[in-house]
Structure 1
Amino acid sequence: MERSAYFDNAKLVLIFLVVFGHIIQPFTHGSLGMNTLYTWIYTFHMPAFIFLAGFFAKGLGNRKYIMNLAKKVLVPYFIFQVLYSGYYFYLGHNDWQTGIFYPHWSLWFLFSLFSWHLLLYFFKKMPMYLSVTVSLIVGLLVGYFGEIGHTFSLSRTFVFFPFFLLGYWLTKDQMMSMKRKSMRIGSLVVMAFVAVAIYIAPTINSGWLLASKSYIDLGMPEYGIVARLLVYVTASAMALSILLWIPSRENVFTKFGTQTLYVYLLHGFFVQFFRDNNLFKVNSILDFAGISVVAASIVLVLSSKPIQVVLQPIIEGKISLIRNMFRQVSKSQHKENLHVKN
């Protein structure tokens, strides 16, 4: 698809929040403010990210498309599952032997992404409203089945699928048409209300936002469907509110939003190292600002060209960047030789 500055900006903002949220997670237990911010971010950052993934899922769904998708998504999943297992072993974690189908860190997203494309093959044959309704019903009902959990990323696949499906159905024009002044003002009210509600409400089990546990595990075996419906409403309102404020014009940082997969796959190595060595503390506004800078730096470094050149064979299964680099060097040497001869 043709690149859009708006969607690249959106992906950059959201991947920053993913990294930032993972860094501040250890500090949420002793600080009401940090817990509020962390929970507030988690109400929307993955639903919005998944919505964008659905927007770009415009493939035909034939065999060739599925095979290419498997190469782009499942191969990196298996590679990084092994890499994270080795890394956890090096750090001395007891859970380093996690099975290949029990995703480490944030790798669940890759497994679910492949599954969403498979589901899309069937759901896109339905009318829009029917497909979204069915996906919501499935997402609400799976919580009653304790067997559907973290393994194969099944729970998250079904629970988050409605956001992916909405992204597939909505067009760019429809998204842009919502960026009206009245909608933006309303979005500020929504974001403020959710923040205040999180601050004054009893502690919220993060499992509701992570979507990886059954209603029994979350302590609501009977009425969990009501809680999940509330989570759906909150996540939808929050995701839309954030996306309404994403800049539509290209800026100096926009290009970094084109390589969010690199950041998503690699940032866990940094964050886990930070956690194991207790490198950061948040005791003041300066500490908070410092962590924000660290998160932004990780995003910018991991989405930079040098990282892409080195790791493209592993993450994308291609060597086009390396090939282009050698071509440019060869051309440069050729020009220098001609200049010397002349």
Structure 2
Amino acid sequence: MTRGVPAVQGTARDPFFDNAKLLAIVLVVVGHAWQPLKDSHAMWAAYLFVYMFHMPVFILISGYFSRSFAFRPNQVKRLITGVAVPYAVFETAYTLYGNAVDGRSNDLSLLSPWYLTWFLAALFVWRLTAPLWRVMRADVAVGLAVVIALVGAAGEPGPVLNLDRVLQFLPFFVIGLVMRPEHWELLRSRPVRIAAVPAMAGAAAMAYWVKGRMTAEWVFHSRGWSELHVAWPVGAAMTLAMTACSLVLVAAFLAWVPRHDTWFTPLGAGTLCAYLLHGFFIRTAAWENWFDAAFWHTPLGQVVVTALGVGLALALTSPPVRRLLRPVMEPRLEWAFRNREPAVAGGLPSGRPPVPEERRHAESVAS
């Protein structure tokens, strides 16, 4: 759910990234809609399949558009208003809503993300570390991130800021940070696009085969090896295998994302709204037992649920919804900040010319 601020005057947003974000958020919403239907073998396999790569797509793109983060005042301000404030608002809203509708007794705590909000907390932490990764060689940075992910999976970081996911998803963010424009061009090459088809098909078949042989918890990256009841050799192998498989599927997915403007390209700017809002609809349906009706567990019912999920995602990314929620998603908060230097596109360190993607998207933030 990365979102870019309006492009610098004279430049344009790259439709590829908006297309990728829109298609990925559709998978996120549909995946959550499928969750109550996992008693079906096919639904369980589809659920596992999309969870292998939909969040890694967002995280990798978030890393790519964090390359220019260098703690400039306008960048820190954007991080606070575009990530920290929406996190505080929606973490509070989801907690209170769950308590009211589902009879929960969760305490208000910004240190323990609940449900969807973990991603904003993780992004805040990841972006703060971006300058550290940028000074390293690319191979060293990625290797260290993988080691940290293994350490996070081996230990028990605890619920604070959902550190399990912060650490285990870190490699995708760092890989995005070290990517260059030519890497994105490589994804559109004919050999990669051809290879993407059997890769996706093979992963879908494997997802169907592994039901009953592994738990879907492996792709959530929210639990350690002890919670998954495996010893370290198996845990390390599974963590590395899941990370590698996710990277392959991310590349395969991105290889087929349209590079040109489409009818849904403008909706790619509203993925933050869809990400943060759709949970209210999905959780309400689950809490009110709407999925208990036998129809939803039939093939036709599953198709209808999928269509409703796609429709919900498109509706929540629409311009009217974005305008309505702009005070929460993009609060100005000028009263809270000192009048410092004027915003610079991308907040680039002095002496380094902006690359095209940074000019187009400036300060891109993920949801």
Aligned partner (choices 263, 268, 271) of residue 257 of structure 1? 268
- In structure 2, the partner of 1:159 is 168
Q: Identity, % of aligned pairs?
A: 29
Cα distance in 2 between the residues matched to 1:87 and 1:79: 12
- In structure 1, the partner of 2:287 is 276
**Structure 1 unmatched ranges of 5 or more:** 320-342
**Deviation of the 1:284 alpha carbon:** 3.6
Q: TM-score, normalised by structure 2?
A: 0.82
- In structure 2, the partner of 1:181 is 190
- In structure 1, the partner of 2:309 is 295
Cα distance in 2 between the residues matched to 1:305 and 1:101: 32
Which amino acid in 2 is paired with 1:276? W
Cα distance in 1 between the residues matched to 2:68 and 2:89: 24
Deviations along 1:135-160, whole A, 9 cap, x unmatched? 111111221212x1432121111111
- In structure 1, the partner of 2:141 is 131
**Deviation of the 1:68 alpha carbon:** 2.7
- Three-state SS of the structure 1 residue aligned to 2:296 is coil
Who wins on radius of gyration, i.e. which is larger? 1
The 5-angstrom pairing of residues 28-67 of structure 1 reads 28=38, 30-64=39-73, 65-67=75-77
Indicate how the Cα distance of structure 1 residues 4 and 63 shifts in structure 2: closer, same or farther if over 3 A, else same.
closer
Moved more, 194-203 or 135-144: 194-203
**Deviation of the 1:189 alpha carbon:** 1.4
**Structure 2 unmatched ranges of 5 or more:** 1-6, 334-367
Say whether 1:22 aligns with 2:36: no
Indicate how the Cα distance of structure 1 residues 239 and 205 shifts in structure 2: closer, same or farther if over 3 A, else same.
same
- In structure 2, the partner of 1:317 is 331
Cα distance in 2 between the residues matched to 1:203 and 1:312: 45
- In structure 2, the partner of 1:169 is 178
Cα distance in 1 between the residues matched to 2:281 and 2:214: 27
- In structure 2, the partner of 1:81 is 91
Deviations along 1:78-122, whole A, 9 cap, x unmatched? 111111111111213325336321112110000000111111121
- In structure 1, the partner of 2:82 is 72
Say whether 1:233 aligns with 2:262: no
- Tell which has more relative contact order, 1 or 2 (C-alpha 8 A, sep 6+): 2
Deviations along 1:33-92, whole A, 9 cap, x unmatched? 100000011111111111111121133322512243122111111111111111111213
Structure (1/2) with the larger helix percentage: 1
- Three-state SS of the structure 1 residue aligned to 2:122 is helix
| Aligned residues of 2:267 and 2:319 also touching (Cα < 8 A) | no
- In structure 2, the partner of 1:327 is none
| Aligned residues of 2:270 and 2:319 also touching (Cα < 8 A) | no
Which amino acid in 2 is paired with 1:263? A
Deviations along 1:235-262, whole A, 9 cap, x unmatched? 1111111111111111111100111001
The 5-angstrom pairing of residues 328-339 of structure 1 reads none
